[in-house]
Amino acid sequence: MRKSGIRKFRSLRVLSITAILAIGLFQLSSATQASEALKKKLTDIPEFAAGQLAEVKKKSKSNINKHSMRMKKAHLPTAPNGGTDDYRCFLLDPKIKEDSILRSIEFIPQKKDYVHHAIMFRVSEANIPEAIEKDKSGIGWPCFGGSGLGGMFSSFVTSPWISAWAPGRGIDISPEGYGIPFRKGERLVLQIHYNLLAANGGTVETDRSRIVMEAVPASSTNVKPLTIELFAAPVELACPSGVTGPLCDRNASLRDLATRTDKTSFLEAQAIAAICGKNPAKPIPSLANSCDRIIRSDFKIIAAGPHMHLLGKKLKMTLNPGTEREKSILNVENYDFDDQSPIVLTEPINVVSGDVIRIECVHDPSLRQVLPALKFLPPRYVTWGEGSSDEMCLGVLSVTRD
């Protein structure tokens, strides 16, 4: 059942413009270096129950090191150019003194009502000088999309995810036998998406959130790394019949998206369409959108999760659709924006190079005229976008590779 207003949700995974373009570049390129970089790009862990956390702690209690860090200075969120979203990145140093394995990560927001999501990025050694320069004042830097490090086309690869948080999500726990490698002296970037539409009473206050990580020495454990594979499809939602306005024109809507988020956002919807074999110059509006992706490496799917915004209705992922080897990965018939928790598969699914994974999404643009969070906004043609009032069609797979 849909709830009114800005709704809380769990386990949000957000795909940035750099992510989309990077996926496209790697799909269109067979370069060994790019392929290896893609394999390492993201790390994420299914959320486990408190009882499992207790068991993990019990087994390795003597080796656990706790690392706590906070934003250097409080940040007052402001949205650019009349928008309602503020993306801000902050450089943090967990001061890890030996190569380690992260067992748990907890993001603790100071202002829960309008912190839409948080992503923790790994910072490559090459990007450390740039990150230090960007954050020299301690107030962070604007970063619609990825970490904003290494340029638009490399940010996604050189600053892969470590973890993600959204309202309703607890501590991010590694299952037994899995973990996230973290090197001695390594740093991370905390990206926070502030959704100003959700501020209580419209009042926006400063935020100084923090992170607590638990790690064990790498020399004392033997684990397999989990990584993330992202599967995106275009979103092309025309204004419903009888609804009119200047932003119901797709080009005008894309220009507005670029103005209130980032100038590269215009390319985002175009890039996804091209990656999915569609003509970005002649998009076809539809309530149902899909994309087939040819897999370039072998992996095993451990968990799967959906992500759309407020207009999402259904999301499905299928391995090798229309063949004798067809297998359902994920089938969400009644999408709930409040519950985007990943589903740990009963049996892992083996995927080999040459297989096809299809993602399909159904949206309902008429909800823009109904939901309190959206009905006072101007009618618009809705495309893929990073704002809370834009849309996405994204499947998130937690996978492991031998």
Q: What 8-state DSSP symbol labels residue 384?
A: B
The rounded radius of gyration (Å) of the Cα atoms in the chain is 20
At 223 the pLDDT is 82
What pLDDT, in 10s, does the model give residues 13-49?
334 444 444 444 334 333 333 334 333 433 333 343 4
DSSP code per residue over 16-64: -HHHHHHHHHHHH---HHHHHHHHTS--------HHHHHHHHHHHGGG-
At 49 the pLDDT is 40
Q: Is the CA virtual torsion 142, 312, 160, 25 positive or negative?
A: negative
What pLDDT, in 10s, does the model give residues 97-138?
999 988 889 999 987 778 888 889 988 888 899 999 999 889
Which domains, and CATH codes, for the chain? Answer: 17-226 (2.60.120.310), 227-400 (2.60.120)
Q: Is the CA virtual torsion 240, 242, 247, 248 positive or negative?
A: positive
Q: Is the pTM of this model over 0.95?
A: no
Residues of the chain with pLDDT under 70: 1-62, 151-159, 167-168, 200-201
At 253 the pLDDT is 95
Across 288-325, b (16+ Cβ under 10 Å) vs e yields: ebbbbbebeeebebbbbbbbbbbbbbbbbbbbbbeeee
Going through 284-401 in order, the beta strands assigned E by DSSP cover 288-294, 299-307, 312-319, 327-332, 343-351, 356-363, 382-383, 394-400
At 9 the pLDDT is 29
Question: Using CA atoms, how far apart are residues 21 and 262, in angstroms rounded to an integer?
Answer: 15
